[in-house]
Amino acid sequence: MQDYYQQNPSARWLALLSICIATFLVPLSMSSVNLALPAIAADLHADAVKVSWMPTINLWGSMILMLPAGRVADMIGRKRVYLIGVMFYALASLMVLAVNSIEWLLVARVLQGLASALVFATAMAIVGSVFSDGDRGTALGLTATSVYLGLTCGPLIGGWLTEFWGWRSVFWAPVPLTLLSLLLVVLYLKGEWKSEQRERLDWLGSGLFALWTSLFFFGLSGLPEPRHGLLALLGLACLPLFIFQQNRARYPLIRIRAMRDNRVFTRSIMASLFMYGANYPILFLLSLYLQYIQGMSPGESGQLILIQALIMAALAPLAGRLSDRYEPRLIATAGCLLFGAGFATLFWLRQDSGLSHVVAGLVLLGIGFGLFSTPNNNAALGSVPKERLSIASALLNLARTLGNMFGMAVVVLLFNQLIGDRTIEPSQYPALLTVTRLALALACGYTLIAAYNSFRRGNIRS
């Protein structure tokens, strides 16, 4: 199959374009819905609790299906699963045209999450397969850039769509581009890249995985309430049961022993988990700091925070190209350390700090994460057999999701302990600054753990 792409270089890049379109649209829809929440609540007469689930319930749908989707893709073909995911995502998005209650809209969001699991479990694996004989780092960098741009542009585009065409347009407007992605895949993506061996899906393992991740997810989302803490602990208690079952299953979702023996992949997963745990809360923390303490408008603070995402998006392809030539662990580890330096810089923010202080921290964060993500993914995917690329891609995306959840849960816990249910007003600004600095210090610690794992993964070119 690689002969086809060597003889038709344009087909290789058009196939990448189709992947980038989808990996841009899915994160965009995740972040754009935040700007439509007030309009959704007013139109569907929804209470605050149900509306609060809109930004996160699709994460749950994506998480519970991520590993089974990766395993099925390795069994029946990555292209097939990817096509089903993109098509399913378009249909779930169009479902919004018929919903007339917040409950059905939440169902649509769950379906979007399930579909996104099929997309993200296969996207990086397909890119890694198409570019297996060269330029893989560059291609993975462009894929990462599309994800960053989707997350970054989401609030801006969501605000525009809600203002001019109503909140439902946030869901249906991306569908034409989704169909373009489907068309490009059908025309230019050749190959299925599936395992030569006949295997079966581990249904028991899939159920146990869905159980522990669901308990952990819903537990973390309600912290620090005791019953939610109990749910999170129960979810963690189910994790050893899942690992025990995987070690004894004939066709496991994850080959635990093989993963344990693959130091490059295991360390890459750990580095990703801690880097995303550090990165995810920064938008939330700086948004509050800039609007409350610095007195900036939502638009002004959003534009300032955009600096980090734009630098990340610009650097990801360059870092990917460098990781094709040099050891990825060196580039990724340097990225971890620069990322930590960004948090260390922001830790010294005060109520009277200048905006140049914030910009300096954001620049370091953008450079650091831009240097980390693509080399880390390149090293991880380059360390596994070709027939296991989909499950490897799924594990990388699962590490990202779990890192996001964990990082945000810690921040929510800090807010509840130090501020509680009090309104954020000038008298609470010192407490808000304390929470922000504590969270930044913890994030700096996470990046040092990520740097250790990144450096200790070893070389992949020896």
Does residue 462 register a pLDDT over 60?
no
- What are 111-120's pLDDT values in tens digits? 998 999 999 8
Phi, psi at 352, each rounded to 5°: -105, 20
- For the entire predicted model, the pTM comes to 0.82
The pLDDT score that the predictor gives to residue 440 is: 94
- pLDDT category at 270 given cuts 50, 70, 90 is very high
Residue 30: predicted pLDDT: 77
Burial class from Cβ neighbours inside 10 Å (0-12, 13-18, 19+) for residue 462 reads exposed
pLDDT(280) > 70? yes
CA dihedral 139, 400, 319, 134 (to 10 degrees): -30
Average pLDDT value for residue range 199-216: 88
3-state secondary structure of 336: helix
CA atoms within 13 A on the CB side of 11: 16
Domains 1-199 and 258-457 share a fold: yes
- Residue 193 in this model has a pLDDT that exceeds 70: no
450: part of which helix (H) or strand (E)? helix 429-456
Crossing angle of the two packed helices 389-418 and 203-221, in degrees rounded to 10 = 20
Q: Which pLDDT belongs to residue 7?
A: 64
Query: Would you state the pLDDT for residue 412?
Result: 75
Q: Which residue has the higher pLDDT, 339 or 423?
A: 339
Of residues 132 and 212, more confidence is placed in: 212
* Least confidently predicted of 58-67, 114-123, 219-228, 247-256: 219-228
> What mean pLDDT do residues 149-163 have?
78
State the DSSP H helix or E strand holding residue 254, giving kind and residue range, or none if neither. Answer: none
Place of tokens 């291609």: 139
Class of domain 258-457: mainly alpha
Q: What is the pLDDT of residues 60-97, one digit of tens each?
A: 888 888 889 888 888 888 888 999 999 999 999 999 88
Half-sphere exposure of 240 (CA within 13 A, CB side): 3
Q: Between residues 243 and 157, which one has the greater pLDDT?
A: 243
CATH number belonging to the domain at 1-199, selected among 3.40.50.150, 1.20.1250.20, 3.40.50.20, 3.40.50.300: 1.20.1250.20
Cα-only R_g, the chain: 21
> Bigger pLDDT: 137 or 23?
23
- Cα separation of the two ends of the chain: 27
Residue labelled with tokens 């989909």 = 390
CA distance 136 to 179: 25
Angle at 62 between CA 57 and CA 66, to 5 degrees: 155
pLDDT at 341: 96
pLDDT band, very low/low/confident/very high, at 353 (cuts 50, 70, 90): confident
Distance CA 75, CA 81 (A): 10
Separation of alpha carbons 334 and 368, rounded Å: 7
Which residue ranges make up each domain of the chain?
1-199, 202-250, 258-457
Percent of the chain with pLDDT over 90: 21
pLDDT value, residue 438: 92
Q: How many CB atoms lie within 10 A of CB 197?
A: 9
Indicate the burial class of 430 (C-beta count within 10 angstroms; 0-12, 13-18, 19 or more): exposed
What's the token pair of residue 30? 């995740």
Confidence of residue 6 (pLDDT cuts 50, 70, 90): low
- Quote the CA–CA distance of 115 and 87 in Å, as a whole number: 8
Question: Highest mean pLDDT range out of 15-19, 306-310, 345-349, 432-436?
Answer: 345-349
Closest C-alpha among 71, 406, 454 to residue 216: 406
Confidence tier at 392 by pLDDT (50, 70, 90) = confident
Question: Residue 47 contacts by C-beta under 8 Å, 6 or more apart in sequence?
Answer: 41
Q: Which two tokens stand for residue 112?
A: 């979007």
Lowest mean pLDDT among 116-120, 304-308, 332-336: 304-308
- Which pLDDT belongs to residue 2? 58
Amino acid identity, position 312: M
pLDDT over threshold 70, residue 52: no
**From the CB of residue 133, how many other CB atoms can be counted at a distance below 10 Å?**
10
Asked whether the predicted pLDDT for residue 134 surpasses 70, the reply is: no
State the pLDDT confidence band at 299, using cuts at 50, 70 and 90: low
Share of the chain above pLDDT 70, in %: 92
Query: How would residue 382 be classed by pLDDT, with cut points 50, 70 and 90?
Result: confident
Please, are residues 124 and 393 in contact by the beta-carbon 8 Å criterion?
Answer: yes
Closest CA to 151 of 287, 24, 282: 24
Rounded CA gap, 77 and 126, in Å? 10
Q: Is the pLDDT of residue 1 over 60?
A: no
Give the separation between CA 120 and CA 147, rounded to whole angstroms.
10
Question: What pLDDT score was predicted for residue 455?
Answer: 93
User: 211: exposed, middle or buried (C-beta count within 10 Å: 0-12, 13-18, 19+)?
Assistant: middle
| pLDDT over 90 at 345, yes or no | yes
List the one residue out of 369, 397, 360 whose CA is nearest residue 381: 397
The confidence score (pLDDT) of residue 133 equals 65
Query: Which pLDDT score is estimated for 195?
Result: 63
Look over the chain and give the mean of its residue pLDDT values, rounded to a whole number.
Answer: 84
